[in-house]
Amino acid sequence: MDSQVPRHIGIIMDGNGRWARRQSRPASFGHRAGVRAIKRVLQACEDLGVHALSIYAFSTENWARPRAEVRALMRLFHETMQREVDEMHRRGVRILVSGRRDELSPKMRHRIEEAMARTANNKNGILNVCLNYGGRAEIVDAARRLIRDGVPPERVDEAAISQRMYQPDLPDPDLIIRTAGEHRVSNFLLWQGAYAEMLVSETLWPDFGEDDLRTALTEYATRVRRFGARPAHEVMVS
């Protein structure tokens, strides 16, 4: 496989609110346009050879938004899940949902479980929807699992923690993109993103498309990933 193409991309889809406000419309208008962008980008990932895409759809902190916006978002997630699963399944995409599902409505949980079960054996690509997701919450949940599993302290290592993350089989993201110009992580994939390349795009998420993804991949291909080591060509022989 071409190592210049990331295997797994994470996207912090930001800017829906600003996109809507520019048109004097409510945030929910921007979120709807954001769903259309997800469809475009998922297709572009497939075309460009990116195997897995993790999208940050709703953070554990986003409950602090106005009630009407939260309600509109939840309705949109439910509706989208219902409408898009058939097509995703037909395209062989496996759907994963990461986050604290027990805090979502029973109706939503049911949809999520159905979508994951239905697409569980698909091999053409992975869409990991981070919903009610927080990087810190995920680490807390992993710690709880360690304790529940009775792991003794001397057996707690990085592998033991990684195995207890929400998606232990997903490789770490190679590239994390944040749209709408903000330079912060906002609690996304804190553990898995330890060595991800970071890229900030000025494009607001509803306007993001294949061209923006191509630009991001071109930039990614120029990056030298070091993982803390000294690349051989930099070693001075004395």
User: Which residues make up the interface to ligand IPE (CB under 6 A)?
Assistant: 12-18, 27, 56-59, 62, 73, 180, 182, 184, 186
Q: How many residues bind Mg ion (CB under 5 A)?
A: 1
User: What, of ligand IPE, Mg ion, none, does residue 176 touch, CB below 5 to 8 Å by kind?
Assistant: none
User: What, of ligand IPE, Mg ion, none, does residue 16 touch, CB below 5 to 8 Å by kind?
Assistant: ligand IPE
Residue with smaller CB distance to Mg ion, 77 or 220: 77
d(CA 52, CA 166): 15
Q: Least distance in Å: CB of 180 to ligand IPE? A: 6
Q: Does 14 bind Mg ion (CB under 5 A)?
A: yes
Q: Least distance in Å: CB of 238 to ligand IPE? A: 47
Q: Least distance in Å: CB of 6 to ligand IPE? A: 19
Pairing of strands 93-98, 52-59: unpaired
Give residue 126's identity as a one-letter amino acid code: I
User: What, of Mg ion, ligand IPE, none, does residue 59 touch, CB below 5 to 8 Å by kind?
Assistant: ligand IPE
Report the catalytic residues.
14, 62
Residue with smaller CB distance to Mg ion, 12 or 108: 12
Q: Least distance in Å: CB of 84 to Mg ion? A: 23
Q: Does 20 bind Mg ion (CB under 5 A)?
A: no
Q: Does 138 bind Mg ion (CB under 5 A)?
A: no
User: What, of Mg ion, ligand IPE, none, does residue 62 touch, CB below 5 to 8 Å by kind?
Assistant: ligand IPE
DSSP string, the chain: --TTS-SEEEEE---HHHHHHTTT--HHHHHHHHHHHHHHHHHHHHHHT--EEEEEEEETTGGGS-HHHHHHHHHHHHHHHHHHHHHHHHTTEEEEEES-GGGS-HHHHHHHHHHHHHHTT--SEEEEEEEEE-HHHHHHHHHHHHHHTT--GGG--HHHHHTTSS-TTSPPPSEEEE-TT----TTSSTTTTTT-EEEE--S-GGG--HHHHHHHHHHHHH----TTS--GGGPPP-
Residue with smaller CB distance to Mg ion, 112 or 204: 204
- Enumerate binding residues for Mg ion (CB under 5 A): 14
